[in-house]
Structure 1
Amino acid sequence: MSSSRRPLLAALLAAPAIAPGLARAQAPTSNPAEPERSERGPFRWRVLASGLENPWGGGFLPDGRLLLSERPGRARLMAPDGTLSAPLAGLPEVVAEGQGGLLDMQPAPDFATTAEVFFASATLVEGGVLTRLSRARLTPRGFEAVRPVLDATPAQPSGRLHYGGRLAFSPDGAHLFLTTGDRNNSRERAQKLNDLAGKVIRLTRQGEIPHDNPFAGRPGLRGEIFSYGHRNPQGIAFNPATGSLFLAEFGPRGGDELNLIRPGLNFGWPDVSYGREYSGRQIAGGRTSAPGITEPVRHWAPSVSPSGINFAPAHAQPLWRGALYIACLNTPGLLRLQMEGDAVVAEERLLWGRARMRQVLFAPDGGLLLLTDESRGRVLRLDAA
C-alpha cells in the first residue's frame, strides 16, 4: 500500500460507527413467539436496525461495518450492533421515482488498499434516464472522486421501471458484473446486442471491456455484454461450491426466473416467457421455449418477485449452509433453495408474508441479514435458535 493511502484508510477504519448527533437505530426487537421453524432447524429473528427508507443493497467493509444504500439516494454505515450513521456526503443526484433511485452499492474487493466503492443508480442524462455504474472513494468525509464508469445506453425519455442495478464481483476480484433492466416500455431492447438494456454486463475491475467477453471486438455490438434477453434482473451471485454465476429476474405476471449465466447466452425475453401480461394476455403467443434460448434453472408462477440473492458462504451458521437465498417482494418473504452443485433440489419459504424483502446478506460472523423494502425499512437478523 502506498504511503498516501495509509492515512486515509486508517482514518476511515478507525472512525467511530456513529458520532454525536447522528441517527441511531431503534433498540433491536426480537420476535416474542416461539422460534420459527425450518426444514433445517429452528431460528429466531430480530430487528437489527430500522428507520431506513427503502434500503436496496450493500456490502461489508473490512472492519465489519455494512455499507448500505437507500433508494431515494442516501448511503449509510451500519455497525455490527445495528447502529446507523447519518447519510454519507458526496453522492450524486439520482432519479428516485418508480423503481429508480440509488440501487446496489458494493465495496471493491481491494477496498482495504483503495477505499473504492462501486454503485448503480437511475440517472438523468441527455435524452432521458438510464442505469449508470459509478465508482468513488469512501473517506471519513463521505464519498469523494465520484465518476461514472458505464451508462446503459441509450437513455430512454419515458418509463420509470426495470433498471436492474445489482452488482457482483467475480470470486477472484478481477471482474465486476452489473445487471440492467429492459426499461419496460421498449422491452425488445433486451434482444439487441448494440443496446445495454436487459443485459448482464461484465467489466474488468478497472471498468474496461475484458478481451474475452463474448461480443468484444465485434463491429456494431457492445463488447460489455455477457448475456442478454433479461427482463429485470435484481439478483446476482456466484455459487461458492462451483464458481457459477446465478441470476434472479422478475417475470411479468408469473414467469420469475432463476438462471445459470454463461457467456453469450440468450435467456429469451421478450421472445419467450413463462409469464403473462398483467392484463392476462399471452406473451409471445404463449411460447415458453425456442431454438437458441436458454431455459431457466427454475421458474415461478404465480410470482415471488425475486430481488437480491446470496449463497450461504463457508462461514455462515450451519443452519444456513448449502443453499441459495432469495429476497422476495411479492409474495413477501425469504426463499431458500437447497443446492447440490448447480442443481436446485429443494425449496422452502421462510417468513412468508411477513415483509417485502429486497436483499439478503451474510454477516462476517455468519448471521443472515435481510433488508426490507419499506418506507421505514429495517435490517432483520436471523440466527439459529
Structure 2
Amino acid sequence: MKRLLPFLIAPVISQAADEVPDYKTMKVTEVYANLCAGCHGKDMTGGQGPSLIDGEWKHGDTDNAIFQTILKGNLDFGMTPWEGILTDKQIRSLVILIREKEKEAIANGINFPEPEVGKVVETELEKYQIEMVVNEGLEIPWAISFLPDGRKLITEKEGRLRIVGSDGKLDPKAIEGTPEVLVHGQGGLMDVAVHPDYEENGWIYLAYADGWRDKPEKKGKEGKANAITAIARGRIKGHQWVDHEEIWKADKKFYTSAGVHFGTRIVFDNGYVYFIVGERGGNMEAQDLKNPKGKIYRLFDDGSEPKDNPFYGKPGVAKGTWTYGHRNPQGMDIDPRDGSLYITEHGPRGGDELNWIRPGLNYGWPVITYGMNYNGTPLSDITEKEGMEQPVTHWTPSIATCGLAFYKGDQFPAWQNDLFVGALKQQELRRLRLKDREVTSQEVILKNIGRVRDVKTGPDGFLYVVLNDPDKVIRLAPAK
C-alpha cells in the first residue's frame, strides 16, 4: 500500500477514540477547517494539496465526481476517504461550499460592466445606456406594470400602489382603497399585473401578504402574525381602487407566522392567470398537495378553475394547483416563441433555479436541492430523484433570483427572446439564451447599482429594472 500523507489522516488517528471530534454535528465550514484546510489551504487556494477553486479537477469536474472523491478518497494521491466519518449530506455540503468558493474566485477575476446614467455599456451583443425612470420618492418598490396610456404602476412593499404618469413623474399620492396588506418579514404588497385586455375590462391584479395579527401578549408589542400570499383584482378610478374581487385565498388554517418565502409573480396567457404561492418556510409542506404552500396556480382570469387542471376536483387540493414542490419563486414569464412557462426560484444557500413549468409535475423541494442550509448544515444529500424535475440551470453561490422577463421588444434586436434574470444578493441582471430548453450562453449585463427586484420589457421596447437599496426604477435604452 502506498503511504498516505500524514496530515490527511491525522484528524482521525492521532487522537484517542474518545477524543475524536464529532464531525457529524459540525457545520460545513468547521468540517472543512478540521479535515480539509491542512491540505488544500484555509482559503482553498492549495497547499500540500491542489487548489479547489482554480477550475481544474483531476478526477472529474461534476458535482458527483467531487462527491465520490471526497467519499472514497484516492490513496494513490494521498486523499483520505471520508466514508463513515462524514454523512452523505455533509459531503454534499462540502461540494456546495467548494462550488461557492470556486465561483466567487472566478467572479473576482471578471471585469463586470459598471453602468451609470448616460454611460454607454457594451455587452456581448448590444450596447445600452441607463435612463432614470424614478429617481426618488419610492420605498421598497417591488414590481412594475404598464398601462396602455403610457402610465406605469409600481407596488411598494409597505402596501402602497403608485402611479408614474405618462409625463414620467411619480404621483406623490398613492392609490386609495387597495387591499389591506399584512406587512410581515418578506411579505407585503408584492406583484402588480395589468390584464392584457385592460382597455376593454380595466382589470388590475395584485399579489400581497394577506392575514391578521393576534392580540399582543404584552403591551407595546406586536401580536403574532398569521399570513399567506393572496391574489385579488380591481380597477382604478381616479385615485381609488374599486370593484375589488378576491381571485384566490388559502384556507385560514394554512396561514402561518413565518416571515419568509411568500414567493409570487403573476402572468397571463390566453384567458388564464398564473401565480405563485411560496412555501412560507414550511419545507415538506411544498410536497403535500393538500397544503397550498409551495405551489404554482392556474385559473381563469375571473378566479374560476379550468377543468383541465391536473388536480381539478381532487379532495383537499387547493383550487388551481398547477405544479408543486417549490420553495420561493419570485420570477415568472412566458416564452413568446412557444408559450412555455418559466420561473426562477430562490434556493437556500446555493441552488437557485430556473425551471420550465409543466402541469402536474413535482419540482422537488426540499427532497432534492443543489443547496444547503444558510448556516452550513446539510439539507439533502441528493440532487435528483425519480418523479422530480431537474432545473434548466441552477446557481451556486446563490444569486437570489428575483424578477424574470423574456425580451419581446424591438429596441435590442440581438436580445430578442432572450431571458433576463434579476438578482438581489448579487445585485445584477443576467441575460440567458435558451435553445431546446438549455441555457446556451449567459452573461451579467448590469451589476452593483442596487438589488434587482423586478425586470420587465416595456411597451416601448426598453428594458425596465426595479431596484432596492437604492429604491429606484431605471430602464436600459439603446446606446445613442
Secondary structure of residue in 1 paired with 2:285: helix
CA apart distance, 1:157: 3.5
Provide the residue aligned with 2:91 in structure 1.
Answer: none
5+ residue gaps, structure 2, are: 1-114, 215-225
Matched, 1:253 2:358: no
CA apart distance, 1:181: 0.6
Task: Decide whether aligned partners of structure 1 residues 260 and 31 sit closer, same or farther in structure 2, where only a CA change above 3 A counts.
Answer: same
CA apart distance, 1:55: 1.0
Matched, 1:175 2:285: no
Secondary structure of residue in 2 paired with 1:36: strand
Q: Is the 8 Å Cα contact of residues 149 and 207 (structure 1) preserved in structure 2?
A: yes
Secondary structure of residue in 1 paired with 2:120: coil
Secondary structure of residue in 2 paired with 1:347: strand
Equivalent of 1:150 in 242, 248, 256: 248
Provide the residue aligned with 2:471 in structure 1.
Answer: 377
Provide the residue aligned with 1:95 in structure 2.
Answer: 182
Provide the residue aligned with 2:29 in structure 1.
Answer: none
Q: TM-score, normalised by structure 2?
A: 0.70
Matched, 1:166 2:261: no
Secondary structure of residue in 2 paired with 1:351: strand
Deviations 1:300-359 (A, max 9, x none): 000111111010114443243231001110111101101225332100012222210000
Matched, 1:56 2:139: no
Matched, 1:132 2:230: yes
Task: Decide whether aligned partners of structure 1 residues 92 and 222 sit closer, same or farther in structure 2, where only a CA change above 3 A counts.
Answer: closer
Matched, 1:242 2:327: no
Q: Is the 8 Å Cα contact of residues 152 and 180 (structure 1) preserved in structure 2?
A: no
Task: Decide whether aligned partners of structure 1 residues 157 and 219 sit closer, same or farther in structure 2, where only a CA change above 3 A counts.
Answer: closer
Provide the residue aligned with 1:268 in structure 2.
Answer: 364
Provide the residue aligned with 1:23 in structure 2.
Answer: none
Provide the residue aligned with 1:70 in structure 2.
Answer: 156
Matched, 1:349 2:444: yes
Q: Is the 8 Å Cα contact of residues 239 and 342 (structure 1) preserved in structure 2?
A: no
Percent of aligned positions with the same letter in both sequences? 36
Q: TM-score, normalised by structure 1?
A: 0.87
Q: What is the distance in 2 between the residues matched to 1:274 and 1:91?
A: 39
Q: Is the 8 Å Cα contact of residues 327 and 357 (structure 1) preserved in structure 2?
A: yes
- Which protein is richer in helix relative to its size? 2
Matched, 1:337 2:432: yes
CA apart distance, 1:223: 4.1
Q: Is the 8 Å Cα contact of residues 369 and 381 (structure 1) preserved in structure 2?
A: yes
Provide the residue aligned with 1:24 in structure 2.
Answer: none
Q: Is the 8 Å Cα contact of residues 292 and 317 (structure 2) preserved in structure 1?
A: no
Provide the residue aligned with 2:41 in structure 1.
Answer: none
Matched, 1:44 2:129: yes
Task: Decide whether aligned partners of structure 1 residues 58 and 46 sit closer, same or farther in structure 2, where only a CA change above 3 A counts.
Answer: closer
Instruction: Work out which of the two has the higher radius of gyration on C-alpha atoms and give 1 or 2.
Output: 2
Structure 1 segments of 4 or more deviating over 2 A?
A: 30-34, 79-82, 152-157, 219-223, 314-317, 339-343
Matched, 1:367 2:465: no
Read off the aligned partner of 2:275 and give its amino acid letter. Answer: L
Q: Is the 8 Å Cα contact of residues 154 and 162 (structure 2) preserved in structure 1?
A: yes
Q: What is the distance in 2 between the residues matched to 1:53 and 1:182?
A: 26
5+ residue gaps, structure 1, are: 1-29
